[in-house]
Structure 1
Amino acid sequence: MDLAFLHPLYEHPGPWASVYVDTSRHTEATPHERHLTAMALARDLDQQGADEATCRAVREALEELRHSSEPNGRAVFARAGEVVLDPPLARPPQRDHAVWAPLPHAAPLLELAGEDPVCVVAYIDRKGADLELRSSLGSEDVGSVTGRQWPVHRTSTVDWSERHFQLKVENTWEHNAAEIAEAVAACQVGAPPTPLGSGGETRADLLILVGDDRERRSVHERLPAHLKDLAVEASHGTGSRLLDEEVEQARADHVRQRAERELERFLAAREPDGEGRAAAVEGVPALVEAAREHRIDELLIRPDGPDAHREVWIGEDPDQLAVRRTDLEILGEQHSWPARADDALIRSAVATGAPALSVTPAQGREAPVGGLGALLRWK
């Protein structure tokens, strides 16, 4: 997950209110239920010591969601009476909750807002294709491809003229499949995605081909080599109630496979090289040292790991980070506060431009040990 969008959270000192709210349920009672949720979460922040202005800003931001049709949820980050960032979520939180702490509690975003693959769904027939862009936030039509319109149907007769006609049909199919493949390639599947509705070129993480077996296969075969591995042929066609489930499964598989690849890369990098240096570390003390030296290249967090909520000490700057408060005093930092290890490391990663990824144990191995690890960059 690219953490650049979190920069506004670290341009001002804390403490911070961090709120996660579910908006996935939609019934007649939803507006009233969300009003009660807004009141309850603001009250929770007040009980944790948040100032009145910030509690009010959070409550008003949540009240604005009473009639929202957002499919998953929203995070709200506020301080000093102002909402600084309120990103939509790609997945609903397990529960509504609010935290008042020296740092924004950004770690849940790795699961709830990160790794939301955008996919191009190509609905293919013999005359062309309609292209749709999908993410967890919805779908958007992004164009269509119109190939040759005649001839497109086979016949059952066998005289010479009809065989000649069928050859023309084959040529039409091949021509249209090539045009569809070319149009899909222009969508830049595999490039960094842009938000839905942002305009400009479509960028997506994977491609899903929908249509008859032969039509799907014809387009798949004509894709550029770098796209073939990112293309999935749907087994259900347009209009099937199972197609949406298949698309969502393909998106979930993409997330899981990427996390597995990164975790395997981490496991391999833990082994020291010929000079005795490992390209990955795990555990809070080693990660704190790497963060202070700006050597984290990618941060890996296992949400259920015990080290994620372990207490560390922070100063005003992202690289002012220590396992013990006295360590910061030795470094000359006069002001320090306790913070969660995962949130402190995310702040450091944002400052140095390192991405972060939520991972799960690999094949029964509890990795990273303690739930926190990093691939390193060497100066």
Structure 2
Amino acid sequence: MELAFLSPLYEHPGSWASAYVDLSQHGEDMHSLRRLTADAVARQLREQGADEAICRAVYDAVASLERSAEPLGRALFARDGEVVLQVPLAQAPPRGLVHWGTLPHVTPLLDLAGEDPVSLVAYIDRTGADFELRSAVLCEEAGHVTGSRQWPMHRAKASDWSERHFQLKVEETWEHNAREIAGALAACQAETGADLLILCGQERECRSVHEQLPAQLRDRAVEAAHGVNSRLLPREVEEIRTRHVRERILAEMDRYRSARTSDEERRAAAVEGVPPLIEAAREHRLAELLILPDGPDTRREVWIGEDPDLLAERRGELSDLGERHAWPARADDALVRAAVVTDAPVYSLAPVLEETGEGVPAGGMGALLRWR
């Protein structure tokens, strides 16, 4: 999961409130329902030591969600009496997931916001295509392309030379339009940064567009089995998106397993456990961080300084590094902060736990390294 959008949370040191709010319950009196939720969140923060300005800011933000169209939930992060960031959730969070601490508690986002590929869905026919941008919380039109050739479109029965010639013209029209659709789809992908392309339509049209895509996009494209008018298509699109996420995480786990093998100098390109991860984070060597959110090491206390690369197992170690200030923090939140500021993606292993088995990093956290 790319977490660059979390960067505003790490621009200023200080205590943070993190609240994951369930919006899946709906009733006639949404005003009262959200106020009750806001009361519960503010009360939990107050009990954990948050000041009144933070409690009021979070209360107001949660209470205002009575007008939200999001069906599942939202995460809110606040400091100094202000809600700094709100993130829509792809799953309803468990009740009571509220945290007050030195760092924002972002690890639950890995599963609740989800490894959510931005998907570009193309509804294709022989004359053109409609594009739709889709994620767990987004579904919006992304453009339309009409092929410059609109005739001839349909084959005739081949019985003489003229009709066979007409069929060739039909084939040329299809292929010409497929090239234009593929070009427009590639341009839309470049503009939106979509991770996945889903081609919907008749098999012939989808295959032609797939083959005309630039080489670097063909592996990102998947052809749906159901046609545009099938009532099963929406479910299939979501299944394709889910399968894409699982395959991507499994591929990262395969890379991680291979990287754990030491070279001739007994150095590995992957590490696990808090001490080696801290060392790698201090040296900016984290290439990818892998986390099992309920792993035992995620809750371990570590010590952090103002800069994201200043973290240690013990407070005294930061003094040895010349850091004058030190605060306790959860190990997962400290390591995620270090990953975010060095542009290292973070993946939750929860979706593939059954398939990875013994390959999960010890303690629930591991990393691929930029260098050994």
In structure 1, what is the Cα distance between the partners aligned to 2:32 and 2:228? 37
In structure 2, what is the Cα distance between the partners aligned to 1:126 and 1:339? 57
In structure 1, what is the Cα distance between the partners aligned to 2:176 and 2:363? 55
Q: Deviations over 1:86-115 (max 9, x none)?
A: 122344324452111111101112223353
In structure 2, what is the Cα distance between the partners aligned to 1:161 and 1:294? 69
In structure 1, what is the Cα distance between the partners aligned to 2:215 and 2:5? 32
In structure 2, what is the Cα distance between the partners aligned to 1:25 and 1:246? 26
Counterpart of 2:199?
A: 209
Q: Percent identity?
A: 65
Counterpart of 2:126?
A: 126
Counterpart of 1:194?
A: none
Correspondence for 1:310 among 289, 300, 305: 300
CA RMSD for the aligned pairs? 2.2
1:88 partnered with 2:72: no
1:269 partnered with 2:270: no
In structure 1, what is the Cα distance between the partners aligned to 2:3 and 2:48? 27
Greater shift after overlay, 121-130 or 236-245? 236-245
Over 3 Å counting, the alpha-carbon distance change for 1:282 and 1:315 in structure 2 is same
Over 3 Å counting, the alpha-carbon distance change for 1:212 and 1:354 in structure 2 is closer
1:340 partnered with 2:330: yes
1:355 partnered with 2:345: yes
Q: Deviations over 1:220-263 (max 9, x none)?
A: 22222222221111112223332111111111111111111111
Contact 1:22 1:92 in 2 (8 A): yes
Amino acid at match of 2:328: P
1:376 partnered with 2:369: yes
1:231 partnered with 2:232: no
Amino acid at match of 1:130: D
Correspondence for 1:246 among 230, 236, 243: 236
Greater shift after overlay, 328-337 or 259-268? 328-337
In structure 2, what is the Cα distance between the partners aligned to 1:83 and 1:265? 38
Amino acid at match of 2:152: P
Amino acid at match of 2:360: A
In the TM superposition, 1:52-91 aligns within 5 A as 52-91=52-91
Counterpart of 2:138?
A: 138
Counterpart of 1:107?
A: 107
Q: 1:288 Cα shift? A: 1.5
Over 3 Å counting, the alpha-carbon distance change for 1:278 and 1:34 in structure 2 is same
TM-score (norm 1): 0.90
Q: 1:29 Cα shift? A: 4.2
In structure 2, what is the Cα distance between the partners aligned to 1:244 and 1:29? 31
In structure 1, what is the Cα distance between the partners aligned to 2:370 and 2:204? 47
In structure 2, what is the Cα distance between the partners aligned to 1:88 and 1:262? 25
Q: 1:307 Cα shift? A: 0.7
In structure 2, what is the Cα distance between the partners aligned to 1:246 and 1:87? 26
Counterpart of 1:149?
A: 150
Greater shift after overlay, 61-70 or 159-168? 159-168
Gaps of 5+ in 1: 192-200
In structure 1, what is the Cα distance between the partners aligned to 2:195 and 2:9? 27
Report the 3-state secondary structure (helix = DSSP H, G, I; strand = E; otherwise coil) of the residue aligned with 1:181. Answer: helix
Q: 1:137 Cα shift? A: 1.9
In structure 2, what is the Cα distance between the partners aligned to 1:231 and 1:292? 38
Gaps of 5+ in 2: none
Contact 1:73 1:89 in 2 (8 A): yes
Aligned positions, number: 368
Counterpart of 1:32?
A: 32
Q: 1:55 Cα shift? A: 0.2
In the TM superposition, 1:133-212 aligns within 5 A as 133-147=133-147, 148-156=149-157, 158-188=159-189, 201-212=191-202
In structure 1, what is the Cα distance between the partners aligned to 2:98 and 2:310? 26
In structure 2, what is the Cα distance between the partners aligned to 1:233 and 1:32? 46
In structure 1, what is the Cα distance between the partners aligned to 2:53 and 2:99? 16
Report the 3-state secondary structure (helix = DSSP H, G, I; strand = E; otherwise coil) of the residue aligned with 1:363. Answer: helix
Q: 1:69 Cα shift? A: 0.4
Greater shift after overlay, 305-314 or 49-58? 305-314
In structure 2, what is the Cα distance between the partners aligned to 1:10 and 1:202? 26
* Structure holding more helix per residue: 2
Report the 3-state secondary structure (helix = DSSP H, G, I; strand = E; otherwise coil) of the residue aligned with 1:19. Answer: strand
Amino acid at match of 1:37: T
Contact 1:310 1:341 in 2 (8 A): yes
